[in-house]
Amino acid sequence: MDAFLSGLKAAVDTLGATVLLPIVIFVIAAVLGAKIGKAFRAAVTIGVAFIGINLVLGLMLGSIGDVAQAIVTNTGIQRDIVDVGWPSAAAIAFGSSVGLWVIPIGIAVNIALLLTRMTRTLNVDVWNFWHFAFIGSLAVAATGSLAYGLVVAALMAALSLLFADWSARAVQKFYGIPGVSVPHLASAQILPIAIVINWIIERIPGVNKVNISTETIERRFGVFGEPVVLGLIIGLVLGVVAYYNAGDFGVVLSKVLQTGMTLAAVMLLLPRMVKILMEGLLPVSEAAQEFVRKRTGDRELLVGLDSAILIGHPAAISASLILVPIAIILSVVLPGNRVILFADLAVIPFIVAMTAPLLRGNVFRMVIVGTVTLAAGFYVANALAPLFTSAAVDSGFEMPENAVQITSVVDGFLWISYVVIAAIRNLGAAGLGVLAAIIAACFWLYRRNTLAWERAAGAEDDETTAQQG
């Protein structure tokens, strides 16, 4: 059994998401009854789209990373908890004792919930099961028990499906991507926070009237409000903030212009890549719906994908770019903070993208929600850094120089991680029971009043009525 699990894990590590996903999509599409040729083309198209998305993301993340490093250097921040970035967190998760088991656990949980009609999401985003393994590895570090870690991973797999179903209608409508959901835990976890903050904003006179969306900006400013020009302007501003002291005038001008053009390119290219993804996804989604209709009537099956499909929207990119300097300022001014952000500043788009449907693309509100989420995340990171570091050491991760402890925005800043560890530390095995009961209750409540839950997440009534109950 261990040999099989090790081989499965090695295959996932070797293939990577852009190769593994098309294979999974092809197999699923064929099983669902799509013609082999159509399934093959759809799988290849989806793989190509994700490669394109990753290339543009690499361009954006590299640019933002350079800007963030320059701003951090300019501020002279010194902290002893170092942000090592999500790739390190993923390596730690898959390298942990839980990582060996997380793929079969995630698949088993998904199948069980599909068969019991508790979820309608088929999660094909196998690579991102590392999020479940990571929180499980924190549980192992806290208790020394692998069993605790495996149960936590299973609970997180279930929770991700709840978030996926809950947000699916709003995501499909706002982003124009039918038949999908997003079971990406690091992105979905912001939804309850956004709902509460949006409720508060709605009750603050004056503030509740502020609507700074990319559509509003484009309407008022014409060509200067178009996403590509907006990306250029935001990039130029960030470039000036980061590189004003990078050298003589020629060097500064070059860096500022390069940053502006890079972010302009991202604003234009990311939505185009998502359109290619939709082209490949449509036959798979149609096959899934036909398969389910023949067997269960009007039931719907959603394809669960990475939240990378969300961050191409201009509102998500704009809010994220504004949040980069805000996050650095927070790291300086928050009392008691020991975390220095570094590698993961560039993943802020993944953190805030899920708020766009609920907030109707209002960049002003997205920035407020993102700021509150990051501020709380710093304290979560400070609290969980010892466990994060312990899990890293246990998995064989090589600690960076001068780092006493480590963390990452993904998943070290997540309130879910904190709640899980607090429950286990305070209640032991009973804490796992409490977590399981809460997640089960949320599934039941969602099924009981789907319309109200989905409306709360930003869906419109005409998109949810058919799904109530």
pLDDT digits (tens, 9 = 90+) for 425-434: 999 999 999 9
pTM metric for this prediction? 0.82
- Residues 6 or more apart in contact with residue 54 via CB below 8 angstroms: 18, 308
* Residues 367 and 348 sit within 8 Å (Cβ to Cβ): no
Residue 296 confidence (pLDDT): 61
Domains of the chain, residue spans: 1-451
- CA–CA gap between residue 203 and residue 10 (Å, rounded): 52
* Residues 110 and 286 sit within 8 Å (Cβ to Cβ): no
- Phi, psi (deg, nearest 5) at residue 406: -130, 165
- Residue 398, token pair as written in the block: 């090589």
Residue 277 above 90 pLDDT?
no
The upper half-sphere exposure of residue 309, i.e. CA atoms within 13 Å in the direction of its Cβ, equals 29
Q: Predicted confidence band at 467 (pLDDT cuts at 50, 70, 90)?
A: very low
Mean pLDDT of 160-184: 92
The DSSP 8-state label assigned to residue 400 in this structure reads P
Residue 6 above 70 pLDDT?
no
Work out the mean pLDDT of the chain and round it to a whole number. 85
- CA–CA gap between residue 212 and residue 271 (Å, rounded): 20
Residue 310 above 80 pLDDT?
yes
The fraction of the chain above a pLDDT of 70, given in percent, is: 90
Mean pLDDT of 248-270: 87
H-helix or E-strand spanning residue 454: helix 450-456
The DSSP 8-state label assigned to residue 16 in this structure reads -
Residues 354-372: tens digit of each pLDDT: 999 999 999 999 999 999 9
Q: Give the residue with greater pLDDT, 80 vs 6.
A: 80
* Residues 260 and 343 sit within 8 Å (Cβ to Cβ): no
The residue with tokens 């590590």 is 13
Residue 78 above 80 pLDDT?
no
Among the ranges 61-65, 298-302, 373-377, 457-461, which has the highest mean pLDDT value?
A: 373-377
The DSSP 8-state label assigned to residue 121 in this structure reads E
Residue 14 confidence (pLDDT): 67
Which amino acid, residue 55?
L
Residue 2 confidence (pLDDT): 59
Mean pLDDT of 147-176: 94
- The four Cα atoms 275, 276, 279, 282 give a dihedral, to 10 degrees, of -70
Q: Is 182 helix (H, G, I), strand (E, B) or coil?
A: coil
Q: Give the residue with greater pLDDT, 74 vs 292.
A: 74
Residue 244 confidence (pLDDT): 87
- Tell me how crowded residue 254 is: count the other CB atoms within 10 A of its CB: 14
* Residues 328 and 72 sit within 8 Å (Cβ to Cβ): yes
H-helix or E-strand spanning residue 422: helix 415-427
The DSSP 8-state label assigned to residue 9 in this structure reads H
Q: Predicted confidence band at 30 (pLDDT cuts at 50, 70, 90)?
A: confident
- CA–CA gap between residue 368 and residue 315 (Å, rounded): 13
The residue with tokens 């000036």 is 240
Residue 298 above 70 pLDDT?
no
